[in-house]
Structure 1
Amino acid sequence: MLLRYLLFIDFDNTLHDTDSKYISKLDGLLGYSGSFLWDSFMNRIHRMVHVNFPERHDDLRFHVELLLEALGERATPRNIERFMKALDEAEKACWMDPAYFPEALDFLRRAKEAGYVLCLTTGPNSAPKAKTLEEKLSFKVFDYVFGEDVLGCLKSEPEYYRKALEAADGLPHLTVVVGDTLSTDIAPAKMVGLKTIWVNRKGLDPRDARVKPDYTVKDLDEAFKCILRLFPISSKG
């Protein structure tokens, strides 16, 4: 019987340097650096909203109002509009002017040539992310494209991975998740019984993580070697 190995591959900060787009667009607003604003937005505001106001997860204006409050700045219509415009431009730049990591495209080529089933597993805007990437590579990369907009649930929820697995007709023990974020890529996937590879590009101390991935790598080159050990090509067929 032919074994069917699935790779659930994250987009933002795994294949694509999404942080750089937001940092660039936010830089200089109200005199703050882009890196400070983006870190504050993601690690203070977005996480707090996710925990305390999950129903407002996609409410960008609410996020911006909370960010301005946290910064001690006035939430004037002009300030809110400036931040929302910068965030919207950064989001669109991820597929209109992408910045893929140096090894990302080769990783996808090798994984596709090896015969793995490639599934894009991302948050919003899954279709344009996949389309632009496939245009860059000039071949159909993904067998399946999944996003929060497609599956109808947040990526931080185990249900996201259950639905993706069902839609791709996959088996948990033959599926591995490749992603950079412990809270949305690793933790919920492990709850569904999937193998996990944490792409720790920022060199964070894994001992500080509450969630323990099955494997930790520094980039996608190491991730591919890990996948070959986990799902040896020679065992297929």
Structure 2
Amino acid sequence: MTFVVPVPAVASVPVKGAPAGTMFPVHRIYCVGRNYVEHAIEMGHTGREAPFFFMKPADAVLPVAEGTVGRMHYPSLTRSLHHELELVVAIGKGGRDIAAADAMDHVWGYAVGLDMTRRDLQNDMKKQGRPWCIGKGFDEAAPIGPIVPAAQCELGAGSKIVLEVNGAVRQTSVIGKMIWSVAEIIEHVSAAWELAPGDLIFSGTPEGVAAVVAADRLSGRIEGVGTLALDIVER
């Protein structure tokens, strides 16, 4: 097979505890909107609404190796870059119309991720009734720590999810406050798209989303999964 332009590199994320160079290839990135009650309220919504999804390009991932601090360039066109800390689900076995009861068999592992958002651009698009990909799908919009095999994770309803910015807590909650569980999310996503090995699902963020600026350090952690540290830098 001959390609007429250079073949892009495969987007990938390191695997925790694996030999150097062992990577999880990224196929697609699905994101769940408003999946914590308090975050739904702060965004102007209430109740257990049906889940909705948006996507980011696979190469929007910004992998951060274990024990290091990543660097994200402050993106163009925005004056309101918001953080959204999330549990990321890595799919190891694909499928369509997966029942929630069977969904966990499709999970390869978990990671700590950030759904970074150009909030002003997203809000402008919403007001105009236009797609808001520009607010979510930009370069480096999905920082992510190493993927941890599911068997090595100790996730439960009480597992804390916490984000600090420059040492001050911005977001804090527990995984059990997700409106839709991981299994339910997989059921809903697989009804709309056929899931494939390498898919990542960002499962939604707790309340406390806010703006960050260049020189800020973001430090996220999810009990039973791991941590993610990131500096925002000028382009």
Q: Report the TM-score range of the alignment, normalised by the length of the smaller protein.
A: under 0.3
- Normalised by the size of structure 1, how large is the TM-score? 0.23
Q: Choose 1 or 2 for highest CA Rg.
A: 1
Judging by fraction of residues, say which structure has more helix: 1
Q: Which has the higher strand share?
A: 2
Query: Scaled by the length of structure 2, what TM-score is found?
Result: 0.23
